[in-house]
Amino acid sequence: MGSRKPVFLPAFALCLVLLCVGGASANGVFRVKSKFAGLGSQIAELRAHDVSRHGRMLGDVDLPLGGIGRATAAGLYYTEIWLGNPSKKYYVQVDTGSDQLWVNCVQCQGCPKKSGLGLELTLYDPSGSSSGSLVSCRDDFCSTLYRGHLSSCTPALPCQYYLQYGDGSTSMGYFIKDFLQYNQVIGNLQTRSVNASVVFGCSVRQTGQLDDTRQALDGIIGFGQSDSSVISQLASAGEVDKMFAHCLDGINGGGIFAIGQVVYPHVKTTPMVANESHYNVYMKGIDVGGVMLQLPSGVADSGAAAQDRMGAIIDSGTTLAYIPEDIYSPLMNAIRSNGPRVEYFTVQGSSCFQFTGSVNDSFPYVTFYFENSVSMKVYPHQYLYRLGEFEWCIGFQTSGSQSKDAKLWAVFGDLVLANRLVFYDLENQAIGWTDYDCSTSIKVKDSKTGAVYSVGAHNISLACNLDSLRSPLILFLIIILHLIL
């Protein structure tokens, strides 16, 4: 649901929400659940989500989407957040592909009042919180967002926003400053609840797919790089290290999401592409079953101009993996020629086949290579999905033919990110990953004291009873905020 970059107009500004955040404290925990957990095989809905999403987030990159995706519970994760005083619960989608954080406001026209996910939606009421206050258009936050003071600003005018997405959906509203709760990690599998004031957006009007009740949530929490994102706000306030990681469990639909320094498992990183709005990295090559693909000339050359190089956007808010046509065609040909002799047929744009054996033993793995000798190996059980009892489809999607001036950017969503710890080091502008069992714990380090704590899984059904960190992971993931003391 995130946009690559919102459209800001003088009368409006961007809707922003934060997770449960506290004052100067150590580590924090949030519980997050897969939006598609328990929904069964809804391939069309996953594909429709990605088509809509990329129409919004990739406005200056030519990525027309096609095909279908793997039906899995490992996509579109959301978390509970608690805002205001007294605090109230909101469900927001966790998204590394967008910057903005916002929730629906009590004055909202067109906002969904119910959700097909079985969640109870809540509208934020500024007058119902004793700690909430409007953010003025003269506030430094608003000036930074608009890159200067607004000529039409008066003391009584709030900092407003207008968002228009590529699919025609719109959202508009104004900014609020209020308390956000989070659970500070104080020891191995131990937390305490704390608060902090944060700026977030209050949506008062929505149109298009944003008011669709089938998979409605209260808002979105973005973990992008801009100054308005969650990670940037917390880091600029001195409350977090500007780094985070997620580990999405593609089997159980859960995992871990952590802000701060993860010391175990160890992750080797590759540089992020400079001056990009998303988490972009350059690719140096692709092999299928150990054989390197013949790619278009120059796209993997580190000496080539940036606009001519091949790369990937790392985006947990996308469910599938989309490959530009110039790369997709040789990739698919290599998978077919290195796999068993089967007859392929097309289902909604995807290559499918009948097979009764072990796909892991019979189909090749695919390895993507990046700068700094970093690679990502995708096994057959990750890129193949079951269509029927003996029918399978290849889950890589074509993003369509590129226009002459478009960059060769792939989009890596949960199809390839699941079952890996992915680490985003914004302080050093690097990203890395490693295969990992996302149903187990990780270790985070307090940057001031040097203490290392184990953080395990949580069950979101405990309804924000965050003191029990020993519950088994079933369909849920947690977010750990690593805060600087």
CA distance 131 to 366: 52
Other beta carbons less than 10 A from residue 439's beta carbon: 19
Going from the C-alpha of 128 to that of each of 86, 131, 136, the distances in angstroms are: 8, 9, 19
Q: What is the DSSP track for 348-408?
A: TTEEEEE--S-HHHHS--EEEEEGGGEEEEE-HHHHEEESSSSEEEE-EEE--PPPTT--E
Burial of residue 266 (CB within 10 Å: 0-12, 13-18, 19+) is exposed
Half-sphere exposure of 93 (CA within 13 A, CB side): 27
The catalytic residue among 95, 99, 178, 249 is 95
From 428, 431, 454, 453, select the one nearest 441 (Cα to Cα). 454
Q: What is the DSSP track for 87-155?
A: TEEEEEEEETT---EEEEEEEEES--SS-TTS-----B-GGG-TT-EEPBTTSHHHHHHHTS--TT--T
Give me Rg for the CA atoms of the chain.
Answer: 22
From 99, 135, 102, select the one nearest 230 (Cα to Cα). 99
CA distance 125 to 105: 6
Instruction: Decide: 397 and 54 in contact? Cβ < 8 Å.
Output: no
Question: Tokens for 345?
Answer: 């047929």
Q: Are strands 280-288 and 366-370 parallel, antiparallel or unpaired?
A: antiparallel
Other beta carbons less than 10 A from residue 86's beta carbon: 10
Read off the amino acid at residue 213: T
Question: Tokens for 328?
Answer: 């997709």
Active-site annotation holds for 95:
yes
CA distance 200 to 230: 9
Instruction: Decide: 271 and 279 in contact? Cβ < 8 Å.
Output: no
The catalytic residue among 218, 315, 425, 446 is 315
Residues 6+ apart with CB under 8 A from 133: 176, 177, 178
From 33, 36, 194, 201, select the one nearest 108 (Cα to Cα). 201
Active site residues: 95, 315
